[in-house]
């Protein structure tokens, strides 16, 4: 059993203001928040939304964010998740604990038995974390982002 190193809390305005400044290095600059108007607007509107959380480390410091949302139509009971780790924390071996904490606390808060996510195919670090957490590939899709086509992998896990 992995102990939870991170916890979820309601987003604060201060958290959101930090999220919208996050920039990543190399290929991961794909995830830069300030260059994506739809992400910035989504963060600015997310403060009081159900299922949208800040991720906090044991010392109470902001470590990331996550969003749980309904996938498909309302007749299906399929939950999706999006996660983002603070840029300064990426690539340091914390991904497994970070992700595990989010999905386990999310299960306690939301009660899901099936979870899906989408990840861009070049993000091998994240894919490895998800696979080690028991997620398997379900499908894929193409998406045009800022004028460039990207392949995304859909992964899922049942409990």
Instruction: Tell me the per-residue pLDDT of 14-68, one tens digit each, with 9 for 90 and over.
Output: 999 999 999 999 999 999 999 988 899 999 999 889 999 999 999 999 999 999 9
- Residue 48 is predicted with a pLDDT of 86
Does the predicted TM-score (pTM) go above 0.75? yes
What pLDDT is stored for residue 4 in this prediction? 62
Smallest CA-to-CA distance from 110 within 144, 134, 79 is with 79
pLDDT in tens, 122-153: 999 999 999 999 999 999 999 998 889 999 99
| Cα 81 to Cα 30: distance, rounded to the nearest angstrom | 18
* Cβ(133)–Cβ(99) below 8 Å: yes
- Provide CB contacts within 8 A for 131, sequence distance 6+: 155
pLDDT at 76: 72
Model confidence pLDDT, tens digit, residues 68-79:
999 877 667 789
* pLDDT tens-digit readout, 79-88: 999 999 999 9
Q: For 148, phi and psi rounded to 5 degrees? A: -125, 140
């Amino acid at each position: 059993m992995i102990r939870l190193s991170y916890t979820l809390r309601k987003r604060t305005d201060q958290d959101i203001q930090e999220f919208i400044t996050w920039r990543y290095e190399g290929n991961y600059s794909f995830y830069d928040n300030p260059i994506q108007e739809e992400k910035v607007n989504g963060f600015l509107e997310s403060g009081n939304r159900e299922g949208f959380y800040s991720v906090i480390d044991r010392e109470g410091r902001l470590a990331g964010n996550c969003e749980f949302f309904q996938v498909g139509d309302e007749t299906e009971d399929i939950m999706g998740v999006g996660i983002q780790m603070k840029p300064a924390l990426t690539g340091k071996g914390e991904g497994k604990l970070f992700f595990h904490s989010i999905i386990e606390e999310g299960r306690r808060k939301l009660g899901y038995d099936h979870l899906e996510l989408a990840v861009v195919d070049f993000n091998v670090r994240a894919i490895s974390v998800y696979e080690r957490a028991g997620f398997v590939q379900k499908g894929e899709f193409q998406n045009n982002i800022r004028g460039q086509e990207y392949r995304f992998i859909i992964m899922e896990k049942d409990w």
